[in-house]
Amino acid sequence: MRYSVHISGSSIIRSIRSRGISQLWIILVFVSGIALSPRSAICKTVDSSGNSGSESQETVQTAVLAGGCFWGVDAVFKHVKGVKSVVSGYSGGTRSTAHYEMVSTGTTGQAESVKVTFDPAKISYHQLLRIFFFVAHDPTELNHQGPDWGTQYRSVIFYANAEQHHAALQFIKKLSSDNAFSAPIVTQVVPLHGFYPAEDYHQDFLERHPDNPYIVVNDLPKLDHLRKQFPALYVR
């Protein structure tokens, strides 16, 4: 929704003449308030994908990935060059079940996921997959990651289009043929039917709670791994 305000000089003059000079101060305060307000507060456009209207959707792409608890996966991609934003959420189920308490039962079909918005001119989808497989999670663990167990912690690539589908399948095929991991890759590759942002207290969790014992043991090492294994793509 776009908001705009237009006040012509003639309308101000007419107002002064009809209401008297005592009204001038009110009008001047009103006009000054508009002029001094942040531009975003006066005119802001947000599309359904959550991207700001000031940035063309053609310049960014999104990837939705699931690899265990979204706290750590979210944190990893927030330190990757070319990534514009990361949102923790749920994919694989319906909107009505996209609530942490329900997802935690492991019966909703949802997987804890992250939506990564990135600039393909700075980082490719293929590079994001490499970080996903080699840093963000272990693609050989079926329905769990580390201490977390349940289908909500499964490894999934939710592809948004045919290009992502092909890229994901070819990437996994190459890793498997190269025996990149000591166990078979169990990552699912399925179409994206919806992404539902998680509750506010889950967003930016590592940044807000770096001393949380779970974060210290399971997720901070991932950031160190990212910095060492992909130094050219790491940003603070």
Active site residues: 69
Cα separation values, 202 from 14, 41, 186, 213, Å: 54, 27, 26, 16
Within its chain, how far is the Cα of 25 from the centroid? 46
Encoded amino acid at 207, one letter: E
**Beta carbons of 67 and 93 less than 8 angstroms apart:** no
Residue with tokens 């393909």: 120
Helix (H, G, I), strand (E, B), or coil: what is residue 197? strand
C-alpha–C-alpha distance, residues 153 and 206, integer Å: 18
Q: Which residues neighbour 10 within 8 Å (Cβ) at sequence distance 6 or greater?
A: none
Cα separation values, 220 from 11, 91, 152, 205, Å: 60, 25, 22, 12
The token pair that represents 208 in the structure block: 């807000």
- Report CA dihedral (159, 161, 167, 169) to the nearest 10 degrees: 60
